[in-house]
Amino acid sequence: MKAAIPPSAALSADTRTSMPLRASVKAALETYLADVDAELVTDLYALVLSEVEAPMLEAVLVKARYNQSKAAKMLGLNRGTLRTKLKQYDLLD
């Protein structure tokens, strides 16, 4: 079942600012898994990557003022790989 992580898995602003990223992701995943039938879940790894990677790319682009070279450096990627990922998530103009 390829479904977006439901809004119920979203964390409050207070939780996001006080909780490390790893703990935030864990909490969201635990909520997601509690809300779905485990037998219907497939491709969880791909789902989580797409749910985390796209907003990460967007946030880094904003922080880098849409400078792809700076964003790639922040992410530890080469610019070509960043562009490929941006295309994958339809984040290029």
Question: For 61-87, how does the pLDDT look when each residue is reduced to its tens digit (9 = 90+)?
Answer: 999 999 999 999 999 999 999 999 999
Q: 17: pLDDT confidence band, cut at 50, 70 and 90? A: low
Nearest C-alpha neighbor of 49 from the set 16, 88, 93: 88
Alpha-carbon distance 32 to 7, whole Å?
9
Confidence (pLDDT) at 13? 53
Q: Is the pTM of this model over 0.75?
A: no
| Angstrom distance (rounded) from CA 47 to CA 80 | 23
pLDDT-derived band at 1 (thresholds 50, 70, 90) equals very low
The answer, yes or no, to whether residue 39 has pLDDT greater than 50, is yes
3-state SS track over the chain: CCCCCCHHHCCCHHHHHHCCHHHHHHHHHHHHHHHCCHHHCCCHHHHHHHHHHHHHHHHHHHHCCCCHHHHHHHHCCCHHHHHHHHHHCCCCC
